[in-house]
Amino acid sequence: MISFVPDDFQRHKFVPPVYITGLQVFNVELDPEKDSTVLKKSILCANEITLPYYQSSISIDFAALSYIAPEMTKYKYKLEGLDDEWNTINTNRKVYFTNLSPAKYVFKIKAATNGRWSKNEKQLIIKIKPPIWATGWAYLLYAILVILIAYYFISNYHKRQHEKKEKEIYESKIDFFTNVAHEIRTTLTLIKGPVENLLEKRYEMPEIKEDLECLDRNTNRLTNLVSQILDFRQTEIKSFTLDFTRVNVNEILKETSLSFTIMAKKRQLDYELILPSSEIYALADAEALLKIFSNLIGNAVKYADKKVLIKLKPLQKNAETFTIEFENDGHIIKRELAEKIFEPFYRLKETSHQKGTGIGLTLSRSLVELHNGTLGLALTKNDFNIFILTLPLQPEQVKKEIPLPN
């Protein structure tokens, strides 16, 4: 028989310490020897652990060092960053956390014996590293990219709006310019008739012969300028049509160059035309070719210093195109302006004192492109500006309709 007085019992005041005894990642125990990059020392002594984002499912073992009815020991845990309240467990000494988001967590565990909760907590800091595309630097890069993309679209929008406005202004100016040109051409037509009548009688009036010839020459020049403006407008609105016929390129080039001989002599230029021994025939619009040649030769003579060279290159075997080079030793055009000079009304500052409309090269290129050809400024050599014109012998749009005879 055993007898005792319950009131004489003394409550056990020992508060057991709590230890984390194990850590598993995807149910595989971490070993400091094998997993030194993650766990540098025993989990019993570790205060912090860092895991990559793809190892975010973990389980933690813990125990309170109490040998007084250990099965009666209770535990509370909390994972700060995930839990707001403490979680109580009775007999199980393992907790599981799956697919933790990249962040910093603090795991806290405490135990209770005889209903008394320990004030001492065991803590383990757990850091889950984000993937490289979710790091702070990555988000900074994303922000910069978003800002750059937004800036690009906004600036591009403003640029398009500015270009649209400029185009509208340009179109209104051209329309006005074209309407005035029509009126001028009508007036010139009315003037040209009486001038031609007077020219027929210039030998009867020798005292005004020179004045009449000057009047006729300038009337023709003004008529050509107005016609050039109207042709430019037609190419702008895609209403310029070509009349393809079989033409002798040598002859047209020779006749056009002859019309600038007097101007070249007046400027004391070394003016030379080089033609191949065999004549070149092509399917082209003769009037358009004349305009192209006139503009290119006229520019070469106008802006030359001492020399102008026009060279029609011989055809190679089985050639489908022919090439003409227009060279002059005037002010050398910079490479970055090689395309700018083909824009309407663009004039070089160095040659702005020369008379001109600023649409000659633009019109020439438009007519060349209608022939499926190319016109551009080549790299300078020996202090020469070289414009290279290349045109097909048979443009694609008429190759089947008008075969070129051998």
Residue from 279, 316, 305, 294 nearest 389 by CA: 294
CB 22 within 8 A of CB 60: yes
pLDDT band at 186 (very low <50, low <70, confident <90, very high): confident
Number of Cβ within a 10 Å radius of residue 195? 16
Task: Report whether 386 contacts 377 (CB < 8 A).
Answer: yes
Whether the predicted model's global pTM rises above the 0.75 cut: no
The predicted-structure confidence for 211-227, as pLDDT tens digits, reads as follows: 777 777 778 777 777 77
Q: N- to C-terminal Cα distance for the chain? A: 139
- What are φ and ψ of residue 24, in 5° steps? -120, 145
Place 142 in a pLDDT band, splitting at 50, 70 and 90. very high
Instruction: State yes or no: pLDDT of 165 exceeds 90.
Output: no
CA-CA distance, 92 to 388, in Å (whole number)?
A: 90
Under CATH, what is the fold of the domain 6-131?
Answer: Immunoglobulin-like (2.60.40)
Identical fold between 6-131 and 245-398: no
| Amino acid at the residue 167 | K
What are the φ/ψ torsions at residue 272 (nearest 5 degrees)?
A: -140, 135
CATH of span 245-398: 3.30.565.10
pLDDT digits (tens, 9 = 90+) for 250-295: 999 999 898 888 888 888 999 999 999 899 999 998 888 988 998 8
| 129 within 8 A of 55, measured Cβ to Cβ | no
| Residue 330 in this model has a pLDDT that exceeds 90 | no
Sequence spans of domains, the chain: 6-131, 138-236, 245-398
pLDDT of 311 > 90? The answer is yes
What are the pLDDT digits (tens) for 81-132?
Answer: 888 888 888 777 889 999 888 999 999 998 887 667 777 788 889 889 888 8
Instruction: Output the CA–CA distances (angstroms, integers) from residue 354 to 193, 296, 304, 338, 343, in the order listed.
Output: 30, 15, 11, 19, 17
CA atoms within 13 A on the CB side of 122: 22
What is the average pLDDT score of the chain? 82
